[in-house]
Amino acid sequence: MLKNSHGKPGQHRERHTMKSEHIPKATIGRLAVYIQVLENLLRDGTEVISSEKLASACSVNSSQIRKDLAYFGEFGVRGVGYYVQELITSIKHSLGIDRVWNCALIGVGNLGTALLRHHDFEQRGFVIKAAFDCDPDKIGKELEGMEIVCPTHLKNQAKERGIELGIITTPPDRAQRAANHLVDAGIKGIVNYAPARINVPPHIPVEYVDFFDHLYSLAFQVTLGNFEG
C-alpha cells in the first residue's frame, strides 16, 4: 500500500496531482461506487480499511482499486490501509465534486417529480435550482418549494442561478427540444434519463441513464446463466 498524509514518523504526504487527463470512463464509474461505499463505511464508524476489505465491499479486486486511485496520486499506508474520510475527500476533489453543482431539471412528470423529491442530490453536492416543463397545466405550480417554469425561460434562469448541469426527464419525443434549451442556456453537461439519443455540441458531455439498457443486460445475463446451467 501507499503513503498517507498523516504526520507520523517515516511517512510522506499524499500526492493528489492527476497523472493523466485520459482517465477511462469505467474508472470514473468505479470511483463513484468507491465514494458511496466509503461514505456508508464512515456512517457505520469505520475510520480505516484495508484495500482487500474495500475491494470486497466494492465488488472489485484490490489491484483494481490501487490502479484506479493511481491516476490521481498515492493513497493509503503500508500495513494499515486507507483512512476513509481522507480517501473520500481526495476522490471528491479529484473528480471535482467537492463543491456545489447547480442543476436544472426539464420534465416534471413522474420521474422528474421523484428526482426533485430525492434529497440525496443536495446532500451529494448537486442542487436542483430550477424545474421546467412545457405542459401549461404544470407551469406556475410549486413542487418542493420551486415554481415550475416554461423552458423558454431557462436561459435567463440559468444565468441568474448559476446553473451548470442539466437533467432531462422528458418523454423521448421531447428530449431533443429539452437539450436544445439547455445548450442555448450555456449548460456545461447533461444527464439524460429520457429513452432517446440527443444531439449536442461536442464540448458538452452527455450521460445516458436508460433503465431498459440495464434490464436488457440483466435479462441477458439471467438467460445466459440458464443456458450454461
Q: What is the pLDDT along the chain (229 residues), one digit of tens a residue?
A: 334 444 333 333 344 445 445 788 889 889 989 999 999 999 999 999 998 999 999 999 989 998 998 888 778 777 788 999 999 998 998 888 889 999 999 999 999 999 999 988 888 889 999 999 999 999 999 999 999 999 999 999 999 999 999 999 999 999 999 999 999 999 999 999 999 999 999 999 999 998 888 899 899 989 987 776 6
Binding site per annotation, positions for NAD(+)? 107-112
CA atoms within 13 A on the CB side of 27: 18
The arrangement of strands across the sheet holding 146-149 comes to 142-143, 146-149, 126-132, 101-106, 165-168, 189-192, 206-208
Helix (H, G, I), strand (E, B) or coil at 128: strand
CA 186/CA 114 separation, integer angstroms: 26
The C-alpha cell 431557462 sits at: 154
**How far is Cα 132 from Cα 94, in angstroms, rounded to an integer?**
31
d(CA 193, CA 207): 9
Phi-psi region for residue 219, left (φ > 0), alpha (ψ -120 to 50) or beta? Answer: alpha
Look up residue 138 and give its DSSP letter.
Answer: T
Q: Are strands 165-168 and 189-192 parallel, antiparallel or unpaired?
A: parallel
- Indicate if the alpha-carbon torsion angle 18, 126, 148, 208 is positive or negative: positive
CATH class of 25-95: mainly alpha
Please give the Cα distance from 43 to 125 (Å, whole number). 18
The domain limits of the chain are 25-95, 101-213
Q: What is the pLDDT of residue 5?
A: 40
- What's the CATH fold of domain 101-213? Rossmann fold (3.40.50)
So what's the pLDDT on residue 41? 95
Binding region: 107-112
